[in-house]
Structures are given as C-alpha cells and as structure tokens.
C-alpha cells in the first residue's frame, strides 16, 4: 500500500490554469494506452482539496451543469476544506480539516491493501509530503505550458525524487513515476 500523488501537469508545473480550467489537458483526449483505469483499480481511498471537489461539483453535479455524470470514484473520498461545500448525491465523501496524519490513518484503514490516491491539488499532496506520508508521484506531463495556475507541488523537494519509470504516450505526454525519499534525522 502506498500513498500516491497521481496527476496530469503542464510542462511548466501547473495542474490547472488560472481559471481552474483543464481544457489544455482535455484537448488531448484519453492517453493511449490509458493507464488510469489500471491505477484506479489499485486505489482504495482518495483525498482532494476543496477546489478540486468544487470543480467536480460545478462541472458534473450543480444545477447549472449540463454534463450530468455519476460520481466517478468507487472508493471513499476525503475532502479537505474549512467551509461547507455542496453535497453530491451517492458520493461517499467525508469532509475533513487540518492535519493530514489522522486522515491518512483513516484512509489506510478503509483502503486495506490498496493504495491511497492524493488527487490534488499540489499543496495538499505537499502536506502529505511534509508529514512524511507521500510515497510516490505519477506525473503525466503534457506538452503545453500555462504560464501560471494551480501549482503542481509548491514545495522544495530534497532529497531528490527517485525515478522509477518514464514512458511516452504519443506526441504529447510523458508519464514520470517517482518514489519519494525523506531525509529523516535524529538531530534536534
């Protein structure tokens, strides 16, 4: 079981543009072959921040949305927020706030042997990293730059990530799979 930040990102390190839009990503359609379904089959619990949840709500579930979809995740979801958010029917969601460590514990219990997926955003993944809980990153790097937006991982990473694999998908994507290392020290 690993805690994994799996996300698409622009070449210059943004996972959404300044308007929280993803059309820069959706213009490419699905990756071929699509690795996401295999990844999701190995996931037992997910976590996301409120902007990501609100994006899902606005696009697929709000009264204004003309894109009615079922909740896409077959596993329990933890949504980090400090404010009330709209509920989504039939979505197995828990709203939580603050320290990621107790949430990580609850997610691990729910997931059993399966992985924990940090959906995003980047700072939430960074909070798991800060707590020494992030094990891997899988980054699908698209061949576009955005010049600004929601940052991929607003942290200094040291020691360096260890590259496990790099695969190309057509002319527009590289998938980078890293393990995360930590420099734990007994020094005060």
- Positions in the binding site for ligand NAP (CB under 6 A): 7-8, 15-16, 20, 25, 48-52, 55, 80-83, 97-98, 119-124, 127, 150
Instruction: Please give the DSSP secondary-structure letter assigned to residue 176.
Output: E
Nearer to ligand NAP among residue 82 and residue 185 (C-beta):
82
Nearer to ligand NAP among residue 3 and residue 7 (C-beta):
7
Shortest distance (Å) from residue 22 CB to ligand NAP? 6
| CB contact at 8 A, 38 and 167 | no
Cβ-closest position to ligand NAP: 49
CA distance linking residue 173 with residue 56, whole number of Å: 23
Nearer to ligand NAP among residue 4 and residue 188 (C-beta):
4
Shortest distance (Å) from residue 127 CB to ligand NAP? 6
Nearer to ligand NAP among residue 150 and residue 180 (C-beta):
150
Number of residues that make up the chain: 188
CA distance linking residue 165 with residue 169, whole number of Å: 13
Shortest distance (Å) from residue 135 CB to ligand NAP? 18
Nearer to ligand NAP among residue 88 and residue 124 (C-beta):
124
Shortest distance (Å) from residue 185 CB to ligand NAP? 25
Under 8 Å CB-to-CB from 121, ≥6 apart: which residues? Answer: 15, 16, 48, 49, 51, 52, 150, 151
**Pairing relation of β-strands 150-151 and 14-16?**
antiparallel
Distances (CA, A) of 176 to 107, 133, 142, 166: 25, 19, 11, 5
Shortest distance (Å) from residue 56 CB to ligand NAP? 7
- Residue 160: other Cβ atoms inside 10 A: 9
């Amino acid at each position: 079981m690993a805690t994994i930040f799996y996300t698409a990102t622009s070449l210059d390190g943004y996972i959404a543009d300044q308007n929280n839009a993803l059309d820069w990503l959706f213009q490419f359609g699905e990756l071929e072959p699509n690795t996401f379904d295999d990844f999701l089959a190995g996931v037992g619990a997910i976590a996301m921040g409120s902007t990501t949840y609100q994006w899902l709500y606005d696009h697929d579930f709000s009264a204004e949305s003309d894109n009615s979809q079922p909740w896409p995740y077959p596993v329990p979801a933890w949504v980090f927020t400090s404010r009330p958010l709209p509920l989504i029917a039939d979505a197995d969601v828990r709203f939580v706030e603050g320290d990621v460590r107790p949430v990580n514990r609850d997610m691990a219990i729910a997931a059993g042997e399966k992985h924990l997926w940090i959906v995003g955003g980047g700072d939430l993944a960074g909070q798991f990293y800060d707590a020494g809980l992030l094990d891997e990153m899988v980054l699908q790097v698209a061949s576009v730059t955005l010049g600004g937006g929601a940052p991929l991982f607003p942290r200094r990473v040291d020691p360096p990530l260890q590259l496990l694999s790099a695969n190309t998908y057509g002319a527009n994507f590289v998938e980078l799979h890293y393990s995360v290392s930590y420099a734990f020290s007994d020094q005060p």
